[in-house]
Amino acid sequence: MEYRYKPQGVCSQEMAIKTNGDIIEEVKIIGGCAGNTAGVSHLIKGMKIDEAIKRLKGIPCGTKGTSCPDQLARALEELKRKMTA
């Protein structure tokens, strides 16, 4: 399944997530800190959705109250809801 998400409150503009069942196959983050977003994308490749959410949710970026990893966790939560609907 492929899912696109528009993050809020961060520098990145879009997240494209490709999954096979509950396994993350690929994540592309457009915008944001290139090295950090590429690193996070590569680290969660092959990971189960629930594990990625658990590791990324709640990570702040400065005083923003959210971050690209946190927004990615929120995108994965939305994707998970759509998969079970």
| Residue 44, both tokens | 């969660």
Mean pLDDT over each residue of the chain, to the nearest integer: 96
Task: Taking residues 19-42, report their average pLDDT.
Answer: 96
- What's the pLDDT score for residue 81? 96
Question: In terms of Cα–Cα distance, which of 85, 73, 84 is closest to 17?
Answer: 73
Give the domains, in start order, of the chain with CATH numbers: 2-84 (3.90.1010.10)
What is the pTM assigned to this prediction?
0.95
- % pLDDT > 90, the chain: 98
85 band by pLDDT with thresholds 50, 70 and 90: confident
Query: Which H or E run contains 19?
Result: strand 12-20
pLDDT band at residue 83 under the 50/70/90 scheme: very high
Position 39 scores a pLDDT of: 96
Strand, helix or coil for residue 66: coil
Q: Are 23 and 13 in contact (CB under 8 A)?
A: no
